[in-house]
Every structure is written in structure tokens, then in C-alpha cells.
Chains A and B, each alone.
Chain A
């Protein structure tokens, strides 16, 4: 029935469009000087027929479910409802719903069967009422729009206002979703901090998120100091950047300034393919190729290398980040005006001097933007580190050690059967919150740096 509702809206919109287009064309053919061209009259009708009906359907769908549920519940025998909590009522309602859909376990009590029948009847009524009302609203919009067609009607301004409103609505949706996500993170984190002191989390150097399973268990109460986890993230990020920065920068400079057009035409797409490799694949690569290779190299040198190392995870992540940095650098270099290049060459500078002294400094804002974006990616990257980094949090900056990261811990905390009100699970939200704050900080610094350089160079 739902598809029929939307079909009616689409049909009404199309009909309204055609009717108004025809009416406006007729006026025009009769020699009237239309204020707005015919398309705007048609679009005006389209919006008027479709928008109110659509909004109505959305509201109706949001409200009809709870209303029907309440009606069904109120029709139940008193002795069933007496003393039922809201949760029990919900359970009852879903039981009745599945009964109405024909999924019965055993022989249902007669009052349940009656309630299911009532539900079916109510839903049918709801469907027809919805169809009727939507048709009515769409028709009203269509007819009203049709009556407005006249030479002096400012259809263009109306349409522009409607489109403007739609754009405002879309940006509001984006903004409020963001606010909602951040708010829910914040609320859950607060619940965590009600159980674990804030400063213990912030400055604790011990991360062992175990909690007693039974009340009387004597096992450790768990430690929630996030510093070792943060340190692990930073070690991996630094390793990734040490790999990605020089390779990305120099490959971009080479491709942009020195490579022949033919080489460039081949190499650029290849680099872009690197950006399209799924992170899981990088994860395989880290676990199956990089980590064993490092271990062997370590053995040959007599160095003890653990099976999961920050070096393997970070190095692989660095490879993933190369295309980021190189494509940002390439764009930034290409955006430097040719006149600067010519100016430098005409003074007798070599190509290398021109790149190092003129093009690169002028491209720095764009490059910094790319680098900081890469840092955010590295901090937030999950798949590679889940596969290739370890699980144990240690206070170490040795890249040959196994470390863990914020994202890995969030994943492991949320995996498996966990109640959503114990500190172990809630810790994931606190970590998520901190991750968000760190990335936000990096982005703010990025914008600052870029703006400062813009002022210098524009």
C-alpha cells in the first residue's frame, strides 16, 4: 500500500507539471507577456502537488504506528493490562503483530487472536485513509497551482523560494545529524565517567578493561587509563607519516615537474588505484607480508620483533596514505600559477631550484591540508590496525613492540555479548569521544595553518 501512496504523489506531480506547462504555453501562444517562463509555472505546480502530500505521508507514517498500537492495547481485556509495565506492553504488542502476520507459536489465547484481528482491521483502515488523504492533498495542491497560472504570476520567485527552502532543509538535516551523533557520544561518555573518574581515564597509564562478570568475583576491577592506547595510536600514526610523507611528496613533485607527460599519464592513475584499495586488503598485506618480513629481518639482525608490530601496521597504513599526500601535493603544485614558474626560470633558476624555492613554498597550504587530512585518517583508521596491531596496551614508543590503538580498543570493547550499561562497554564511547576531539583538534589546526599561509602568500 505504501508504494501506491508514493505512486499517487509522483503521478499528481507529473500531472500538475504538464497541466501548468500547457496552460502557461497557451497563454504565451495567445500573446501574453509572461512574467516567468513556462517552465517555472510547471515547476511551481509540481512542488505544490508533491511537497505537502509528501510531508503529510512522512508525518502520518511516523504517527500511525504508535496510535494503532495504543488502540490495540486499549482494546485488550482489563485483567491482561492490569499492572503491565511499558516494556511488557511493548512485548505484548510485538507478539500480537507477529500473530497478525500469521507467525503463531502454538495455539494463541483467544484474546490475543482477537487483538490480532483488530490490528489487521485497523491497519487496513489506516492504509485506505492514508491513500484518500494523500490524494486529496495532492489534488488540492494541483488545482490551486493551476488556478494561479497567469501572465503576471511570479512563478519564478515562488519556485526559487521553495528550492531555497529545500536547500536550507537539507543543510539542517546534515547539521542536526552531526549534532545528534556528537550529543549521543557525549551522553554515553558521561555515563562512563559516572562510573570511572574522569581524571583516572585521562591520566591513567594502565588500560585493562576487564570487569568482574559476577557480583562476587574478586577478579581485578579493571583499569581505564587511556594514555597507553593514545600512545599506541600516536606511534602508529608517526610511523605511517614517516613512510607516506617523503614518498608522497617526492612522487608528486617528480610527476608534476620532471616526469614526461607519457609517464605521468600512466603513473597518476596507478597512484589513484592505490587509493581505491579497500583497507581490509591492506590489512591482509600487513599481516601476511609485512609482519613476517619484519620478523625475519629482525631475526637476521638478532633483534626481538613481536608478531604484531606498530611498524607493520603503521608502515602499511603509510602506503595507504601515499595517494592522499601525493594527490594533494600534485593539486597544490598544479595550482601555482605558471607565471611564477616562468618568472623563476627566466631568472636563470634550474627546475629543481624553481620547485624548491618557489613552487613548493607556494603550494604549502594545500600540502599541509593534505598531510593533516592524512593524519586524521591515520588516527581514525581501524581495519588495518585491528588486523595487524596488537590488543595489549603498553606504554611504549618502540615501533617494534606490539601496541594497540583507540579504534582497535573500541572494536574489541563492543564485540561480543555485552550489556550497554557496564563500564567496559561505555568505555568505548569515552574513547570514541576522545578520538573525535583529537581529530577535531587536528582539523582546526589544519585550517589555522592553511589560513596563515594564505595570508602570507595571497
Chain B
């Protein structure tokens, strides 16, 4: 276990002075943050404060939104991900994303997981692909539930299972970073607990960044927490520190329930 956790604390992503505009709306202002590898970093804050926007900067999903402009410097392992020679398509294979609402493709469970490996040509033959699919489903903690019906449509699963399928699908391209935008907000408490447990597992291999509106969830699963407010990164640090002894009065009002 200790061996697996080596590398924890190394800086995976570093962002400097990130600005995001949607047309005239200045959605993110001067965000600078260093995100550590092999840890869960939680983004919290009232809705509309820019958490999802910042998350989408990290895999350049903002490129697909008309009128969205990103400025500043974001580095993954020291490489500028907005450099002209970087292909966002390759970046997204390294930085996987899981969305708020489970969004399995209208395909079989197998094809859902095999989607990424197929488009990136990760498997040489069918048996390698089978292997990748099984490994991903196991890591997504859903293998035992679906191993007998890999041909069933992904949409036939329950909400919690669908979300774990989507996590498995993201893992299948062997990313280094996993972005999760409120991955539990459409799920019931039991499914939420399963996903939280899974996220805790995943941090052994990935750098996990998770947006949540539940402070309990942030406290339970994350090691670092960033608090956003009105497009600014107000406070960032050890999760325990943020929740027990915040240094900014705005953070304190938010976690005690006075703003948000």
C-alpha cells in the first residue's frame, strides 16, 4: 500500500492566473492552484461559482463550448496543455472525465467500456480488448454485477451502476487524471456510498479531482479541498484544515452554512 502511494504529493497539475470568459461573462478570475498526484482534490463552493468551468479547463472541454475563452497557464506534468502543438483529443485520453448525470452510450456495456480503447487503438486484438474491458470494469467496482450480461445495453443498468460504468469507461483509456463533476448528485445514498468508496480506491492510481456540493462528501473522500466563490479561488489546502480551521471568513461562512 505504501508502495502504491508513492508519488503522492507530487504536483500533477499546476494552474496559474487562469481566466475564463463566456462571451462577456467573466466566469473565472485569476485562479492559481497546484494539484497533487495520487490524491483526491475536492472543489466546493456555491453553485455558479465556476467549479465545473475550472474542471473543464483541465481537459479542454471548454473548447467545445461556443464563446468560451480560456487564458492563463495550465500545465500537466509541466507541459502546457494549451500549447498549440497539443491535440485536445490526446489530452482527453490522459485526462478522463465523469459527468454529473450518468451518460452511458446507447450501446452494450462491453462497447461502452471498449469505446475509448477502440478509438485510441489501445488493443491489438479482441482478447487484449477483453482484458482491458474486464480490468476497467473491475476497477470501476462493477465487474461482478455485469460480468454475465456484457451484451446488455448500458442504459439498462441502475443509476449508480451506470455511473460506475461511466467511471470504468473513463478508466479504460488509462488516464492519469480523473475529473468528476458532481458524480453522485443524481444518485441515491447507497449508490453514493459505493461511488465514494470507489473514488477512495481510485486515488491509489490516479490524480482525482472532484466537484461536489456536499461538504460532508468533500470531508469524507478528499485530502485537499479548494473553495471557489464568485469565480475566484478563495482558499485551498488540506481538507482537514479547511473544514476545521479555515483562514478566510468567506470559507467559514460557507462551511457553516451562511452562504451558498
Q: Which residues of A contact B (CB under 8 A)?
A: 261, 337, 339-340, 342-350, 353, 357-358, 361-362, 456-458
Q: Most chain-A Cβ atoms within 10 A of its Cβ — which of B61, B91, B119? A: B119
The answer to whether B89 has its CB under 8 Å from any CB of chain A is yes
Binary interface encoding of chain B residues 31-62 relative to chain A, with 1 for a CB under 8 A from any of its CBs, else 0: 00000000000000000000000000001010
Q: What are 12 pairs between A and B in contact, CB < 8 Å?
A: A339-B99, A340-B106, A343-B99, A343-B104, A343-B169, A345-B64, A346-B97, A347-B173, A349-B116, A357-B115, A357-B119, A457-B106
Binary interface encoding of chain B residues 60-77 relative to chain A, with 1 for a CB under 8 A from any of its CBs, else 0: 010010100000000000
Taking a contact as CB atoms closer than 8 A, the residue among B61, B106, B120, B170 that contacts A361 in the complex is B106
A347-B96, A348-B93, A348-B120 known, 7 other contacts, Cβ within 8 Å? A343-B166, A343-B169, A346-B61, A347-B116, A347-B119, A358-B105, A358-B106
Interface pair A346/B59, CB less than 8 Å apart: yes
Interface pair B153/A456, CB less than 8 Å apart: yes
Taking a contact as CB atoms closer than 8 A, the residue among A346, A349, A361, A456 that contacts B119 in the complex is A349
In the bound complex, how far is the Cα of B166 from the Cα of A365, in angstroms?
24
Taking a contact as CB atoms closer than 8 A, the residue among A261, A339, A347, A349 that contacts B170 in the complex is A347
B75-128: which have CB < 8 Å to A? 89-93, 96-97, 99, 101, 103-107, 115-116, 119-120
Taking a contact as CB atoms closer than 8 A, the residue among A261, A342, A362 that contacts B64 in the complex is A342
Taking a contact as CB atoms closer than 8 A, the residue among B92, B101, B155, B169 that contacts A345 in the complex is B92
Residues from chain A with a CB closer than 8 A to the CB of B120 are 348
Interface pair A343/B93, CB less than 8 Å apart: no
Interface pair B64/A343, CB less than 8 Å apart: no
Residues from chain B with a CB closer than 8 A to the CB of A350 are 89, 119
Residues from chain A with a CB closer than 8 A to the CB of B61 are 342, 345-346
Residues from chain A with a CB closer than 8 A to the CB of B96 are 346-347
Interface pair A343/B105, CB less than 8 Å apart: yes
Taking a contact as CB atoms closer than 8 A, the residue among A261, A344, A458 that contacts B115 in the complex is A344
Chain A to chain B: the 9 pairs with minimum beta-carbon distance, closest first: A457-B106, A348-B93, A348-B92, A346-B97, A339-B103, A343-B103, A347-B116, A362-B106, A348-B89
CB A315 to nearest CB in B, in angstroms, measures 35
B169-226: which have CB < 8 Å to A? 169-170, 173
CB A379 to nearest CB in B, in angstroms, measures 31
Given known contacts A348-B116, A353-B119, A361-B107, is B155 in contact with A342 (CB within 8 Å)? no
Interface pair B103/A349, CB less than 8 Å apart: no
Interface pair A348/B103, CB less than 8 Å apart: no
CB B146 to nearest CB in A, in angstroms, measures 17
CB B81 to nearest CB in A, in angstroms, measures 13
Who on chain A is nearest to B101 by CB? A339
In the bound complex, how far is the Cα of B102 from the Cα of A340, in angstroms?
10
Who on chain B is nearest to A341 by CB? B64
CB A50 to nearest CB in B, in angstroms, measures 52
CB A458 to nearest CB in B, in angstroms, measures 7
Who on chain B is nearest to A358 by CB? B105
Residues from chain A with a CB closer than 8 A to the CB of B90 are 348
In the bound complex, how far is the Cα of B52 from the Cα of A342, in angstroms?
13
Interface pair B153/A348, CB less than 8 Å apart: no
CB A449 to nearest CB in B, in angstroms, measures 15
Residues from chain A with a CB closer than 8 A to the CB of B101 are 339
In the bound complex, how far is the Cα of B121 from the Cα of A353, in angstroms?
13
Interface pair A457/B155, CB less than 8 Å apart: yes
Taking a contact as CB atoms closer than 8 A, the residue among A346, A348, A456 that contacts B106 in the complex is A456
Residues from chain A with a CB closer than 8 A to the CB of B103 are 337, 339-340, 342-343
In the bound complex, how far is the Cα of B61 from the Cα of A324, in angstroms?
34
Who on chain A is nearest to B66 by CB? A261
CB A396 to nearest CB in B, in angstroms, measures 43
Q: Most chain-A Cβ atoms within 10 A of its Cβ — which of B93, B101, B106, B170? A: B106
In the bound complex, how far is the Cα of B96 from the Cα of A315, in angstroms?
47
In the bound complex, how far is the Cα of B98 from the Cα of A343, in angstroms?
8
In the bound complex, how far is the Cα of B96 from the Cα of A362, in angstroms?
23
Interface pair A458/B155, CB less than 8 Å apart: yes
Residues from chain A with a CB closer than 8 A to the CB of B106 are 340, 358, 361-362, 456-458
Given known contacts A339-B103, A347-B92, A362-B106, is B153 in contact with A457 (CB within 8 Å)? yes
Interface pair A346/B107, CB less than 8 Å apart: no
Interface pair B169/A347, CB less than 8 Å apart: yes
CB B139 to nearest CB in A, in angstroms, measures 16
Residues from chain A with a CB closer than 8 A to the CB of B64 are 342, 345
In the bound complex, how far is the Cα of B142 from the Cα of A439, in angstroms?
47
Who on chain B is nearest to A453 by CB? B106
CB A455 to nearest CB in B, in angstroms, measures 9
